[in-house]
Amino acid sequence: MPPDQSSATFSALADPTGRAILARLASGETSVTELAKPFDMTMPAISKHLKVLERAGLISRGREAQWRPCRLEAGPLKDVLDWVEYYRRFWEQLARRISGESCGVTTWRNQ
Amino acid sequence: MPPDQSSATFSALADPTGRAILARLASGETSVTELAKPFDMTMPAISKHLKVLERAGLISRGREAQWRPCRLEAGPLKDVLDWVEYYRRFWEQLARRISGESCGVTTWRNQ
DNA sequence: ATTGTATTTTACCAAGTACTTAATTAACCG
DNA sequence: CGGTTAATTAAGTACTTGGTAAAATACAAT
């Protein structure tokens, strides 16, 4: 079963290594070996991380001689933002609750 | 190794069932059985989903007689928004690129 | 053609996920 | 008390993840 786009994106972002790779790519396109340097991890491990980022559409890969430069593709991140924006009112309402206010009564038990 | 807050949150959101539960809770506090109804899944399965949402701080659970009402806690979602906001310029810049512009030269290979 | 560098693929393993059914706890109600 | 409802825990299974080492591929340089 292929996971939907949102799931693939969130899943890729759930990994600190993946997020660190994206952060690095935010400062420009670079090669796989270069990306691997900060991590205490073998190349194949990085390669797999890149594959999940690519499947999620968060990066794309080119070809330049023997290098496969990676570049950030932020499109799916816009979807994440849209998704999370929907819930904005909940944390804003929480902030407002601190300045004292009616909290509403729980009614879930009646039907 | 305990996963950091961001990882726990993204990981919880990576599951469609988890997101659906949050969506349901957006329209108000409710019981576990009520939450389980839309899903073709047993109660223990839902219970586990709730546990990961709770560990991520995305919901909290109360006690009311034999019910354990769940409520949405949107705090961590604000952090997700803050994280993703950092990348906003990348998709906006992409949108701008459509109206023709210099694309910059790749220089990653020089050091 | 051989050697070197960059990267991916393959095969493997340990640990974690995502469910299941069955048993258990907790609280209500007669 | 004993029965019912709500929910969790326990135990088991199938599948996925995140890493490894070693082999394979792709291209460049000599």
Q: Tell me the three state secondary structure of residue B79.
A: helix
Residue range B15-37: average pLDDT? 96
- A87 contact partners, CB below 8 Å, separation of at least 6: B22, B26, B72, B74, B77
Q: Which of residues 23-42 of A touch strand D (CB under 7 A)?
A: 40-42
Q: Are the CB atoms for A76 and A9 separated by under 8 Å?
A: yes
B17 touches chain A (CB under 8 A): no
Asked if A80 and B85 come within 8 Å (Cβ–Cβ), the reply is: no
> Side-chain half-sphere of A88: how many Cα atoms within 13 Å?
8
In terms of DSSP H, where are the helices of A1-111?
Answer: 5-13, 16-25, 32-36, 43-55, 75-85, 88-97
Please, which pLDDT band fits residue B65 given cuts at 50, 70 and 90?
confident
Task: Report which of B93, B30, B87 is spatially closest to residue B64, judged by C-alpha positions.
Answer: B30
Question: Would you call A14 and B11 a contact, using CB atoms and an 8 Å cutoff?
Answer: yes
Q: Is the pLDDT of residue B106 over 90?
A: no
Spatial CB neighbours of B1, under 8 Å, sequence gap ≥ 6:
none
CA distance A5 to chain B (A): 10
Which of A90, A93, A98, A110 should one mutate to test binding to chain B, selecting the residue with the greatest count of B CBs within 10 A?
Answer: A90
Query: C-alpha distances in angstroms, B28 versus A41, B41, B48, B72?
Result: 44, 22, 20, 8
Tokens 């019910």 -> residue: B67
Q: CA angle A59-A65-A70, nearest 5°?
A: 10
Q: Which of B11, B77, B87 sits opposite A77 (nearest CB)?
A: B87
What pLDDT digit, counting tens, does each position of A15-45 carry? 999 999 999 999 999 999 999 999 999 999 9
Comparing A1-15, A45-59, A92-106, the range with the smallest average pLDDT is A92-106
